[in-house]
Structure 1
Amino acid sequence: MKTLLFAVACFMTAGLAAQNTSQILPKEIQIKTASLAAPEDLREGVKVYGYDQNGEFVVLREGTNHLICIADDPSKKGINISCYSDKLEPFMARGRQLIAEGKGEMEKRQIRRSEAESGELQLTDTPAMTYILSGTEENYNPSTGELKDGHFRYVIYIPYATTESTGLPDKPFAPGMPWLMDPGTHRAHIMITPPKQ
C-alpha cells in the first residue's frame, strides 16, 4: 500500500519532468478531464493545474471553490487525475517544489516533516479530502475528455492522527474499508480504496 501512496504522490506532484509536447492535450480538454475527479456539483469551480504546449506545469484555470485538480501527466501510462482540498495546497506545492529541485521521495518526506514540525510548512488543522481517479488509455477519449470505467480512491489527510484518536486500524481488514496510513506523522491520512467493479 505504501507503493500505492508513492504512486499517488508522484502523479499529484507530476509535471516537472520533461514532457513530450506532441501528447499535450488542449487546455479545455485537460480541464474537463481533471475535473472528473471532483464531485459533479463542484466541477465547474475547481482550480486546475496542467500543462502548457511547452510541457510546463501551469495553472490552466483559476478556481471559485475549495478544490484544486491536477490534470493527467501525458508522459505517464494510463490516466491519473486528482482533486484535493485547497487546505492541502501548501503541502502539495512544497512537494512539487522539492521534486523540481531534484529531491527523491524519502528526502522530500524528511524535508516536509522537518518543516511541518518547525511550523515553516503549514498543514491542515482539519481533515482534508483528496479524490483520485484512474483509468486506462483505452477507456479515455482525448477528443472529448471523457473517461469510462474509471476507478476512484479517496485519501483524507488528517496530520498526526493516530489509530487511537480515530478508531481506525493501520491496515485494511476488508475490501474497501477505511484505514489509517502513516499514523502519528505529518503525513497521516485515511485511505479508502473501493473494490473495482
Structure 2
Amino acid sequence: MKNYIITALAFAGILMSCNSSDKTTTTIEETSEADTTINQIDKNLKPIDSNDALIATALMAAPEASRANCKVIGYNLAGEFVTLKEGNNEFIVLADDPNKEGFSAACYHKDLEPFMARGRTLKAEGKKHQEIFDIREAEVKAGKLNIPTGATLHIYYGKNVLYNPKTSKVDGAKLRYVVYMPYATSASTGLPEAPAASNHPWIMNPGTHRAHIMISPLADDGM
C-alpha cells in the first residue's frame, strides 16, 4: 500500500512538473511575441530629423487631395524660417518647429497669410499673446489686416515627435479644425461658446476679429 502511495505521488509530481514547464514555455513564447510586436512598432517610428521629414509630417495637416501642391513654410533644422517647399494651390502649410516640445503643424488658406505673418512678426518682436491679439484686433478694425470669413485652419498636433516614414503620420497626432468668422457671436451663429462634447463645434473669441468655429478631435488616451 505504501509503495502504491509513493508511486502515485511520484506520478502526480511528474504531471505537475510537465504542466509547470508547459505554462512557463507558453508564457515565454507569448512574452516573446508581444516584445517582437512592440519592437516592430518602435522600429517603424523615427525622429523628424531632416527637412524632408519636416515637410512630409507638416503636409499631414492638409487635406490629402491638396498635399502635393501645398506651399510649406517654417523653421528648418538650422533654425532658419524659410520656404521648405513651393506650392501653387490655395493652401499654405506651416511646419512643426523642431526646437519646440511636442508636434504642431498647421494648414491654412493662403488668404490668411498676411494675418498669420503679422502674428509671427509680432511674436519675433517679443510681444506676448494678449499684445498680439490686441494689435491685430486694432489693425483689422482699421482695415490694415483682413481675415476672410469662412477661411479655414487645420492643426495637426500631438505630444510625441516620432513619425512613420512610410505613412508620414506622427505618433498619436490628431487634427483640430478652425473656421474663421470675424466678429461672429453665439447669437449670430447659434453655436455655444464652449463645446457641448468632444468633436462638437463651438465659437471661440466671439465678437472679436479672431472669432472662429472650433472643432476639436474626440478625446482619448488623455490627448
The percentage of aligned residue pairs carrying the same residue is 50
The equivalences for 1:169-180 within 5 A come to 169-180=192-203
Between the two proteins, the alignment pairs up a number of residues equal to 174
User: Quick one: distance in 2 between partners of 1:185 and 1:151?
Assistant: 27
Counterpart residue number, 1:190: 213
Task: Determine which of 66, 72, 83 is the counterpart of 1:48.
Answer: 72
CA contact (8 A) 1:24 1:55 kept: no
Change beyond 3 A, Cα 1:138–1:162: closer
- Mark the runs of 5 or more structure 2 residues left unpaired by the alignment: 1-46
Change beyond 3 A, Cα 1:195–1:25: same
The equivalences for 1:1-197 within 5 A come to 25-124=49-148, 126-137=149-160, 139-141=162-164, 145-197=168-220
User: 3-state SS of the aligned residue for 2:61?
Assistant: coil
Counterpart residue number, 1:14: none
Shift of 1:103: 0.9
Q: CA RMSD in A?
A: 2.1
Deviations 1:58-91 (A, max 9, x none): 1111211111111111111221111111121111
Shift of 1:97: 0.6
Q: TM-score, normalised by structure 1?
A: 0.81
Shift of 1:54: 2.9
4+ long deviations beyond 3 Å: 141-146
The structure where helix makes up a greater share of residues is 2
User: Quick one: distance in 2 between partners of 1:117 and 1:57?
Assistant: 29
Q: TM-score, normalised by structure 2?
A: 0.72
Change beyond 3 A, Cα 1:129–1:116: same
Change beyond 3 A, Cα 1:52–1:194: closer
Of structures 1 and 2, the one with the larger relative CO (CA 8 A, separation 6+) is 1
User: Quick one: distance in 2 between partners of 1:61 and 1:159?
Assistant: 30
User: 3-state SS of the aligned residue for 2:156?
Assistant: strand
Shift of 1:143: 9.0
Larger deviation, residues 32-41 vs 144-153? 144-153
- Mark the runs of 5 or more structure 1 residues left unpaired by the alignment: 1-22
